[in-house]
Amino acid sequence: LRFNSGELLLEVFACDPFECSPARLVRFIVVAVNDPPVFTLANTTVETCESDPQYLQVAFAVDICPGPLEPNCTASLETTQNVTFDLTPQYQVAAGVDLNVTVSPAGDLTIDILPELDGIWQVELRDSQQGVSNATNFTLTVQSWNRPPRFTLLNTTAYVDEATDADSETQNVTAFVTAIDAGRAEEASQSLTFTVSYSVLGDNPATFSDIFAADPQVDVATGNLMVTLNRYWFGTVHFEIALHDD
């Protein structure tokens, strides 16, 4: 049986075929008990990328009710109670990791400031009378994002001498590129390579073979720009340098 809370006064008497006994009053008092809130997760696996500034999933939690769902939530006497979701990671979050995972009372999941991690989170629903639902777990996976490598040009203008010998030697512009960075610590093992493209400034119609005896290169280890010119060529060349990882 299900009772609403309150009092019920009953008259109880016994009767035979000829007469009834005096009535006795029986009072039933039904004390209200706060039923725990209930909810359902729309899915128990969440995947996102750490490059996203914010992840939002609307209706992550559904069938939210501060009291029992039977016969239906709107018929519950507890519909006026406020509900809040509690989320607890089921692993030790690393020191310094700034991760904010919340579920709104409407059931929307929001994740801010994403590091590279994954793990299991436990979700509980709490009502304003401190009733707590059964816990439900979901798995959060944040996919890593490869950050592009970086570098700095020490100077945007470099000077080399005109080649006058038949067999030109390679000239080095030392430390032309500095602060070569593969990315964060997890990306330090990646191989880096520079690509160098060029265009001739001014009205000089020179082609690549007119200017260079070998492809211009940038040494990743030293940052040196290496240029091998053909004999007697001089002028101004515009370089574009890009750094690539694996």
CATH number of the domain at 89, please.
Answer: 2.60.40.10
In the chain, the number of structural domains is: 2
Tell me what the pLDDT averaged over the chain comes to: 84
Residue 217: C-alpha distances to residues 100, 223, 238, 244 (Å): 45, 10, 14, 13
Q: Does position 213 have pLDDT exceeding 60, yes or no?
A: yes
3-state class (DSSP) for residue 143: strand
Give the tens place of pLDDT for each residue, 44-66: 998 888 777 788 999 999 999 99
Q: Same structural domain for residues 195 and 131?
A: no
Residue at a domain's end among 123, 143, 163: 143
State the pLDDT at residue 98: 60
The confidence score (pLDDT) of residue 221 equals 94
Q: Within this chain, do residues 118 and 91 fall inside the same structural domain, yes or no?
A: yes
CA distances from 137 to 83, 91, 123 (A): 18, 12, 6
175: domain range?
Answer: 150-244
For the segment 139-152, the average pLDDT, to the nearest whole number, is 85
Mean pLDDT of 213-240: 89
Helix (H, G, I), strand (E, B) or coil at 146: coil
- pLDDT more than 70, % of the chain: 88
- Residue 14's beta-bridge partner residues? none
- Distance between CA 84 and CA 64 in Å, rounded? 10
Task: Please enumerate in sequence order all residues whose Cβ is within 8 A of that of 32, keeping only pairs 6 or more positions apart, or say none.
Answer: 5, 77
Nearest to 138 by CA among 95, 96, 83, 85: 85
**Residue scoring higher pLDDT (244 or 142):** 244
Helix (H/G/I), strand (E/B), else coil: 210: helix
CA 25 from chain centre, in angstroms, equals 65
Are residues 155 and 203 both part of a single domain? Answer: yes
- Assess whether 122 and 58 both reside in one domain: yes
Question: Cα–Cα distance between 140 and 61 in angstroms, integer?
Answer: 15
Looking at the structure, tell me whether residues 212 and 187 fall in a common domain: yes
- Report if residue 10 sits inside a domain: no
Contact present, 216 and 227 (Cβ < 8 Å): yes
Candidate ranges 33-37, 75-79, 201-205; pick with highest mean pLDDT: 33-37
Is the pLDDT at 149 greater than 90? The verdict is yes
Q: Are residues 129 and 154 in the same domain?
A: no
pLDDT confidence bin for 159, thresholds 50/70/90: confident
CA 131 to chain centre: 31
**Long-range CB contacts for residues 217-220, cutoff 8 Å, separation at least 24:** 218/176, 218/177, 218/194, 220/180, 220/192, 220/193, 220/194
pLDDT band at 206 (very low <50, low <70, confident <90, very high): confident
